[in-house]
Amino acid sequence: MNNEAAGTSQNKRYYELDWLRVILIFAVFLHHVFMPFNGDDWHITNTDSSKLLDDIMVYFEQIRLPILFFIAGAGSYLLLQRSTAGAFFKSKIYRLVVPFFIGMMFIVPPQEYFEHPDQYSSLLDAYYHRFLAFEPNHLWFLEFLIVFMVFAIPVAAWLKSSASKLVLSGITRLAQYRLGLFLLVALLIAVRCWLQTTTFNEGHGIDNLALSAFYGLFFLFGMICMSRSSIWDSFAKHRRTSAVTLLLCSCLFYGYYLVDFSGYASLQTRWAIWWAMCSLVSWSAMLTLVGYASKYCTSSPEWLRTANSLIFPFYILHQTIIVGLAFYIVQWQSSIAIKSTLLLVLSFAICAATCYVGIRPFNLTRRLFGMKPIIKEHA
C-alpha cells in the first residue's frame, strides 16, 4: 500500500512546489530589505523606524521558513523515489555543502565589514579575519537543510516500509476531515513549548533544539504528505477551510501580540502562549498556501523555471548585497518609503543580474552556488 502511494507521487509533476519555493524565497528577500527600517537591531539600522512595518513583519516571520522546510521535505521524498540514497547524498554534497562553505568564506564576510566598519581597515582586512571564521549568518538555512537531508534518507526508507503503516494510516484518516490535519498542530506546539523551556534555544544554529525541532517537524511532515497522494490531495480539497482557519489564527495572533497581558500571567506562561500563537499561524498558513498552490499552480511558465533554477544563488547572495547597499542608503536624508523602495529595486536588480549573467552561464560558478551543471550535447 505504501509503495502504491509512493508510485503515484513519483509519476506526478508537482508544479506547486516550484511556485511556492520562488514566492517564499522572494518573501525572505523582502523581509531582509525591510529589516533596516523596522526598529530591530539588525546588521544595518536606519535612524528612524516604522512600528507598523515591524507589526506586519512579525506576522510573516511565522510563515516563510516553516513552509520552505515543508516543501524541502516534500521535494526530498520525491528525489529519493527517483534516485538511490547514495546518489541523493552525493547530489546534496554538491548542491548544499559546497555552496554553504563557499558562502561562509566569500559571501558572508562583507556583512561583518559593513556592520562594524570601525573594526576593519578595509574590506580585504575583513576577509583576512573572517575568511575562515565559518560564520553561517543568513546561511543557517542551508545548515539546517544539510542536516535534514541526511535524516531524509532513513525517513524515506521508513515511509516505504511496513513500520510506518500505523502512522501513515492515522494521518490519512485525519486528512479526510476538514480540520483533520490542522489538529496535528497540537503536537507541534507541545514539542516547541517543551524544548523552549528545557534546552538551549538562542541563535539560529542547529544546536538550538527548539528551532531545529520546529523546522524539522515541518520537513518531516512534508515527506509524510508526499508519500501518500491522498494526504497531499487533501490540501487542495480542504483549502477553503484552511483559509478560514488561518484567518482565525491570525486574529488570535494579533489579539495576543497587540495586547499587554503582563498583569495576568507570568513571563514563562506568556512566552508559552506566544509560541503557541506563532505555531498556529505557521501551521494554518502551510495548509492554506499548499492547498491553493496545489489547486491553481498547475503549470510552470518559462520565467518560473528560470527563477526556480536561480533561486539558490539568489538566496546565498541577497543578504550581503542588501547589507552593502543599506549601509549607504540609510545615511541619506530621505523617508523610509523612499529608502526602502530604492533598496528593494537596487538589491533585486543586482542579485538577479549577478545570478543570470555572472553565475548561470558558467559551469564552475553553477557548481559553486548549488546549480546543476550545463550538460552539452555531443553531435
* Domain locations in the chain as residue ranges: 2-368
pLDDT at residue 203, rounded to an integer: 86
As a three-state string, the secondary structure of 57-87 is HHHHCCCHHHHHHHHHHHHHHHHHHHCCHHH
| Helix, strand and coil percent figures for the chain, each rounded to 5 | 80, 0, 20
Nearest to 330, CA basis, from 321, 112, 260, 338:
338
Q: Give 91-95 contacts, CB < 8 A, sequence gap 24+.
A: 92/146, 92/149, 94/367, 94/370, 95/312, 95/370, 95/371, 95/372
pLDDT at residue 104, rounded to an integer: 97
In the chain, DSSP finds a helix count (H) and a strand count (E) of: 18, 0
Nearest to 242, CA basis, from 277, 284, 183, 205:
284
Phi/psi-derived region of residue 172, left when phi > 0, alpha when psi is between -120 and 50, beta in every other case: alpha
| Alpha-carbon gap, residue 13 to 75, rounded angstroms | 11
pLDDT at residue 201, rounded to an integer: 80
In the three-class reduction of DSSP (H, G, I as helix; E, B as strand; rest coil), residue 268 is classed as: helix
| Alpha-carbon gap, residue 319 to 313, rounded angstroms | 11
Answering whether pTM is above 0.85, one says yes
C-alpha cell at 323: 547589507
Nearest to 141, CA basis, from 108, 98, 96:
96
Average pLDDT per run of 10 along the chain, which is 379 residues long? 46 91 98 98 97 98 98 97 95 96 97 96 94 95 97 97 96 98 98 94 90 98 97 98 99 97 93 98 99 97 97 98 98 97 99 98 97 76
| Alpha-carbon gap, residue 328 to 88, rounded angstroms | 43
CB 77 within 8 A of CB 222: yes
